[in-house]
Amino acid sequence: MDFLKKIFGLKENKNPIQQSKSENLLDSYKNIAWMTNDRLESISICLNAGFRPARSLPTEFDRQMRPAIEIACRLNAIKALVLWLLVPEEELASERILNFVSRNRLDQFITEKEKEILNSSRNEDKFLDSIGWKFENAWPLAWYFGYIEPEITGQMMTGEQMRAVFSNYTCPLDENVENWVKSKEVVSEESIVKMEDLFYCLHNAVRSAQCGEHTVPPNFDPIGNGGVIHERRHSLTWMLSKGIEWDDTDLST
């Protein structure tokens, strides 16, 4: 587990009783006929963090990594939506954002509902409540291009994290996304698969908690914090769903 602690930022469990409980729970997963080592790693991380995924979860999926350019386009499409709503016209002209979208054909990676944002006024209140979730979608996509690993606590991104993602891990507005991608080193497909599996397990625990089960840590809000897990999982699963539209991503658990 030392490697996992380094990658996912896990801390040593200082409570021997809690550690023993997690180890005992993990043993119960090891006896499942279709269990894999990769899934046991995901389960171990979940248990140590206070999440309890179902023992019946499948471990084999027909998933395929989509091209880096598509991931970059979705990330930068989110950037355009965020800038449209949160940056005033006097600081950033609408024409510049729309040219960025058009030049890079980002409309292909914006859902029909999201297109309503770009057809609205720059400070349309009815869209502001939903735009925060776009930041959570953006984190895993930015991680693919070098940002830090998505956290599993369910806490929403801080303002500093938001600024870091859109300032340092997206394409500048006056450049081409295709050229931007060529200059980036990306996370390995193996790492994407492992991270997606972890969030798949976390998402299962969240949904169980939303149904009234005790499957998440104390003080974890199944709706608010659970929404964060959901949105980050959405991006990770979409990255492994080549040929599937954003809204058609299979988020079943």
Is 236 a member of any domain? no
Q: What tokens appear for 51 in the block?
A: 């999440």
Q: What tokens appear for 242 in the block?
A: 């080549």
Is 249 a member of any domain? no
Is 243 a member of any domain? no
| Nearest partner of 118 among 107, 104, 130, judged by Cα | 107
Average pLDDT value for the chain? 91
Host domain of residue 12: 2-63+190-220
Residues 46 and 133 in one domain: no
Could you give the CA distance from residue 162 to residue 241 in angstroms, rounded to a whole number? 25
Residues 130 and 99 in one domain: yes
Residues 167 and 95 in one domain: yes
Residues 94 and 156 in one domain: yes
Residues 196 and 209 in one domain: yes
**Does residue 7 register a pLDDT over 80?**
no
DSSP state of 247: G
Is 53 a member of any domain? yes
pLDDT for 10: 42
**Does residue 134 register a pLDDT over 90?**
yes
Of the pLDDT bands very low, low, confident and very high (cuts 50, 70, 90), residue 31 is confident
pLDDT for 171: 98
Is 242 a member of any domain? no
Of the pLDDT bands very low, low, confident and very high (cuts 50, 70, 90), residue 125 is confident
Residues 92 and 172 in one domain: yes
**Does residue 1 register a pLDDT over 60?**
no
Residues 161 and 201 in one domain: no
Is 112 a member of any domain? yes
Cβ(15)–Cβ(50) below 8 Å: no
Q: Residues of the chain with pLDDT > 90: what percent?
A: 81
Could you give the CA distance from residue 137 to residue 234 in angstroms, rounded to a whole number? 7
Residues 82 and 162 in one domain: yes
Residues 159 and 198 in one domain: no
Domain total in the chain: 2
**Does residue 244 register a pLDDT over 70?**
yes
Q: Does the model's pTM come out above 0.85?
A: yes
Of the pLDDT bands very low, low, confident and very high (cuts 50, 70, 90), residue 70 is very high
